[in-house]
A and B are shown apart, each in its own frame.
Chain A
Amino acid sequence: GIQVEQSPPDLILQEGANSTLRCNFSDSVNNLQWFHQNPWGQLINLFYIPSGTKQNGRLSATTVATERYSLLYISSSQTTDSGVYFCAVWANNLFFGTGTRLTVIP
């Protein structure tokens, strides 16, 4: 199956800092999605981004499909951004990466 790798595995930020999370995938895919799993386990879809760049508030994402990677940018981080960020790629079903665990400290 498709391999999806995320980096870094863990990230600790001071509130207000910016960060970039990376997702590499091993094969051509139809789409890529970013999810946030909060500390209580609830998964929320952030972006559907097969290519190009999208922005939603303090978050933005860029996918370069030809080079098989996607980036998630978090600006002016807040403690509520803490949790695990997953990217997932679609190839008949969703293949999830192992996630980046983000901790934002006040």
Chain B
Amino acid sequence: GAGVSQSPSNKVTEKGKDVELRCDPISGHTALYWYRQSLGQGLEFLIYFQGNSAPDKSGLPSDRFSAERTGGSVSTLTIQRTQQEDSAVYLCASTLSGGAGDTQYFGPGTRLTVL
């Protein structure tokens, strides 16, 4: 596709429910990142996939958060037993090769609201 896409654009859920957020990176990009942006804040790194390597999960805030990337393309971020503090915009980015100098292309984000 022309850019990084994410779905859904908005998600409202009740506390305790599980949610899945999807990211479709730019075709051919080997690296994919998930970030979280709370209201009025900067971006918080969550997880990083690079090719077939084991993902860097160092930013995941708790074991309720997990992510996978199937076939080196689409990624799904799953939040189990959602809490109100999980409310934020979840952003996905992809880069061509994952190097430090690669331009990150961001998707439009998924706004998650936990009631």
Residues on B lying within 8 angstroms of A by beta carbon are 33, 35, 41-45, 48, 56, 58-59, 89, 91, 93, 100-101, 103-106, 108-109
Contact A42 B108 (CB under 8 A): yes
Contact (A96, B104) CB under 8 Å given A41-B89, A41-B109, A43-B91: no
- Chain A residue at minimum C-beta to C-beta distance from B105: A45
Q: Within 8 Å of chain B (Cβ to Cβ): is A86? A: yes
A99, B44: Cα distance in complex, Å? 12
- Chain B residue at minimum C-beta to C-beta distance from A86: B42
Contact A30 B42 (CB under 8 A): no
Total A-B contacts with CB atoms under 8 angstroms apart: 53
Residues of chain A within 8 A (CB-CB) of B58 are: 92-93
A45, B35: Cα distance in complex, Å? 15
Complex A-B, nearest 8 residue pairs according to Cβ-Cβ distance, in ascending order: A43-B106, A96-B43, A96-B42, A90-B100, A30-B100, A98-B42, A45-B103, A93-B45
Candidates B33, B45, B48, B93; contact of A95 at CB < 8 Å:
B45
Q: Within 8 Å of chain B (Cβ to Cβ): is A69? A: no
Minimum CB–CB distance for B46 against chain A, Å: 9
A92, B58: Cα distance in complex, Å? 10
Contact B103 A42 (CB under 8 A): no
- Chain B residue at minimum C-beta to C-beta distance from A9: B40
Contact A94 B42 (CB under 8 A): no
Minimum CB–CB distance for A98 against chain B, Å: 4
